[in-house]
Structure 1
Amino acid sequence: MIDIYIYFNKYLSVLMAESAACPAFQLGRPRYDQSSFFGRLKHFVEIIDPSTLFVSERRLTECIKLLDEFKHGTLPPGVSDLQLWEAQKVKQAIIHPDTGEKIFMPFRMSGYVPFGTPIVVGLLLPNQTVVSTIFWQWLNQSHNACVNYSNRNATKPTPTSTFLQGYFGAVTSAVSLAVGLNVLIQKANRLSPATRMIIQRLIPFPAVASANICNVGLMRHNELSEGIDVLDENGNILGSSKIAAKHAIMETAFTRVVLPMPIFVLPPIIMSYLEKLPLLQTNRRLLLPIHSLVCLATFSLSLPLAISLFPQMSQIEVSQLEPEIAMATDCKVVTYNKGL
């Protein structure tokens, strides 16, 4: 399944790469225009490229060295812009931009789809029991919490208690809503078995969407009181802004509501039609593999589309920020790391 996802992502990357010439390399800057949705889409398709999961330690070291040589003006002759962009892509996929540390493979954005698809398949399995519902919702929110932590804005230290609070809040909200809706559906005697089946399959979406909001809000609420760093056009820190933090959390939360929408809505609808096909009526063993492929396809499409709604390094007008920050710079616009 991972091989299929890698091939699909590579094909999408090739199509997008062919649509634009390679621009001059800029260290720390995105290769594609982040002011447009399509530019952000091309950027994030590279960020989530699953081939970066298999980059060796030697290759990562070479990429970091190449970028350092460019930074210090000691770049060997013959190195192309494309090689530099590729090196930056590898570093961005593996190294956290704030901490400078390697992100654990299952919790990288490039690993979100291959490691998350089995969980999605489990969440959408028909005829869920209370125990299985609790298990899959717990596993999903545990994975999401680890991804949130690994890709957070880390410009400010955050106590472990904050992340534990977000984790338990997300698990509690997801499990409570999912179990509650399942109980209500089971008691709805007026619904036909087919209708009940479709509704039960759609239950994971509101449960996961609400839990995602809770997860992001609780795990990052300290940013609202401490603020996050805002940078000028040269990358210099101007100060910590609570207003920028509010924007960052709202943008991330909105993304986490949009992300599961096609993942948990489309597969149940598609499978309700596919299961009526004679092939699947006579070969029930094919249901799980086809269900898994449908989930993989929708997940692969929804992830880059959702996280492309806002640029990771978002911008905000200085006039909207705190007066002390506005007085510290002549810039009209500043940037901040929204987080993923």
Structure 2
Amino acid sequence: MDPNLLYWKDQGQSFLSRLRIWVSLLDPSSLLASDAEIHKAHSLLGGGEKVNKKDADAVTLSLSSVHADSSAALPLVFRPPALLPMSAPLVVASFLPHTSVKPALFWQLLLQSYLAGFNHANRNSSSEQGKKMSMRQLLLIAGTVSYATCAGALPQILINRLGVRSAPIQTFFRSILPIPLSAALAFFNVLTVRSEEAETGIQVFDSSGNPVGLSKAAGEKAVRETALSRATLFGITAALPNLLILLLQRNRFFQRNSLLVAPLRHISVAFALGLMIPISFSLFPQLGTIKKENVEEGLQAAVDDGPLYYHRGL
């Protein structure tokens, strides 16, 4: 088992402990580290010696920059600390009240493309080591991005196609519909981009950290948990600013100073996203567990009593 997973097993089994860890891992300054520094930090974590407080920076760098299946450094823009600075401008722009369909499609295309890349880079790749990305996977990612882009721009498409002029109906399309739509598309993005994990299975480990074999049941559970966490992230990110703006628009001060609404919307979207990223990452353990009786029969016979462990991905 990778040293990163062993650390999560020891330190990240409760929500509050995971939240504390993720708050420190999402520091963007770790993006400045070189690959050599990352590999050195990962080697230190896997050295078998107890890590002291002076080595806390190395632990943070390893957990935030190294893929737990391949032990390779993650692509810079798809590391967890890069999610907020990379996605915040795209999320803010995609939630803007656009006047036409083209800008809505453009920003949705950028957002959904980045999320698909992030989901793919942080997947469980234990069954794919040494293999190149298949054409099927490429087509699946392209199809996911295309569908999510069109669906994400659906509120603006409906406003333009139907010629909506009513303020209450426009409010519904711009402020209410994006909330369940954002959550559903985030769920769909993870579910489709990482569908191979449920089809081929992912590596499961016994309580001692020894690999047991590939389990489709564990793969389905890992993808489902990650999809739910991502739906929570983008659903609440869409809900909080929209609800805040709807409340403030009833205030006389904001009615007299309507120009303040737009910057407040942008700031609140970025704030909600930054607040929800560590919370959504902490909803489920990075090193998940699955009961022995819930995996395939061939794996049940290979282990003693107790749960099996798997890398959930991110």
Q: Same fold (TM over 0.5)?
A: yes
1:125 matches 2:99: no
Q: 1:37 aligns with which of 15, 20, 25?
A: 15
Structure 1 pair 316/61, CA: closer, same or farther in 2 (3 Å)?
Answer: closer
**What per-residue deviation string (whole Å, max 9, x for no partner) do you get for residues 94-137 of structure 1?**
11111122212221111111110000110111134110111111
Give me the TM-score of the superposition, normalised by structure 2. Answer: 0.85
Structure 1 pair 270/195, CA: closer, same or farther in 2 (3 Å)?
Answer: farther
Residue in structure 2 matched with residue 15 of structure 1 by the alignment: none
Distance (whole Å) between structure 2 residues aligned to residue 33 and residue 296 of structure 1? 29
Residue in structure 1 matched with residue 299 of structure 2 by the alignment: 325
Structure 1 pair 302/32, CA: closer, same or farther in 2 (3 Å)?
Answer: farther
Residue in structure 1 matched with residue 33 of structure 2 by the alignment: 55
Distance (whole Å) between structure 2 residues aligned to residue 162 and residue 145 of structure 1? 15
Are the equivalent residues in 1 in contact too, given 2:254–2:261 (CA < 8 A)?
no
Report the Cα offset of residue 257 of structure 1.
Answer: 1.4
Residue in structure 2 matched with residue 224 of structure 1 by the alignment: 198
Report the Cα offset of residue 252 of structure 1.
Answer: 1.4
Distance (whole Å) between structure 1 residues aligned to residue 211 and residue 121 of structure 2? 22
Distance (whole Å) between structure 1 residues aligned to residue 37 and residue 308 of structure 2? 34
Residue in structure 1 matched with residue 110 of structure 2 by the alignment: 139
Are the equivalent residues in 1 in contact too, given 2:39–2:62 (CA < 8 A)?
no
Residue in structure 2 matched with residue 154 of structure 1 by the alignment: 125
Structure 1 pair 140/202, CA: closer, same or farther in 2 (3 Å)?
Answer: farther
Q: Name the SS for the 2:309 alignment partner.
A: strand
Distance (whole Å) between structure 1 residues aligned to residue 88 and residue 217 of structure 2? 35
**What per-residue deviation string (whole Å, max 9, x for no partner) do you get for residues 233-267 of structure 1?**
22211011111111111111211211111111211
Are the equivalent residues in 1 in contact too, given 2:5–2:287 (CA < 8 A)?
no
Q: 2:71 aligns with which of 100, 104, 108?
A: 100
Task: Name segments (4+ residues, structure 1) moved above 6 Å.
Answer: 187-191
Structure 1 pair 95/328, CA: closer, same or farther in 2 (3 Å)?
Answer: same
Give the letter for the 1:102 counterpart.
A
Are the equivalent residues in 2 in contact too, given 1:27–1:67 (CA < 8 A)?
no
Higher RCO, Cα 8 Å, sep 6+: 2
Are the equivalent residues in 2 in contact too, given 1:162–1:219 (CA < 8 A)?
no
**What per-residue deviation string (whole Å, max 9, x for no partner) do you get for residues 133-175 of structure 1?**
1111111110001101111101011633243233223223323
Structure 1 pair 26/299, CA: closer, same or farther in 2 (3 Å)?
Answer: closer
Are the equivalent residues in 2 in contact too, given 1:255–1:309 (CA < 8 A)?
yes
Q: Give identity over the alignment, percent.
A: 28
Structure 1 pair 134/173, CA: closer, same or farther in 2 (3 Å)?
Answer: same
Residue in structure 1 matched with residue 233 of structure 2 by the alignment: 259
- Higher mean C-alpha deviation, range 34-43 or range 190-199: 190-199
Report the Cα offset of residue 281 of structure 1.
Answer: 5.1
Give the gaps of 5 or more residues in structure 1: 1-24
Are the equivalent residues in 1 in contact too, given 2:93–2:107 (CA < 8 A)?
yes
Are the equivalent residues in 2 in contact too, given 1:52–1:90 (CA < 8 A)?
yes
- Higher mean C-alpha deviation, range 297-306 or range 154-163: 154-163
Give the letter for the 2:156 counterpart.
N
Report the Cα offset of residue 321 of structure 1.
Answer: 1.1
Q: 2:182 aligns with which of 208, 214, 219?
A: 208
**What per-residue deviation string (whole Å, max 9, x for no partner) do you get for residues 19-46 of structure 1?**
xxxxxx9983138743322122222223
Q: Name the SS for the 1:315 alignment partner.
A: strand
1:336 matches 2:310: yes
Residue in structure 2 matched with residue 199 of structure 1 by the alignment: 173
Give me the TM-score of the superposition, normalised by structure 1. Answer: 0.79
Report the Cα offset of residue 195 of structure 1.
Answer: 4.8
State the number of aligned residues.
308
Residue in structure 2 matched with residue 175 of structure 1 by the alignment: 149
Distance (whole Å) between structure 1 residues aligned to residue 176 and residue 108 of structure 2? 14
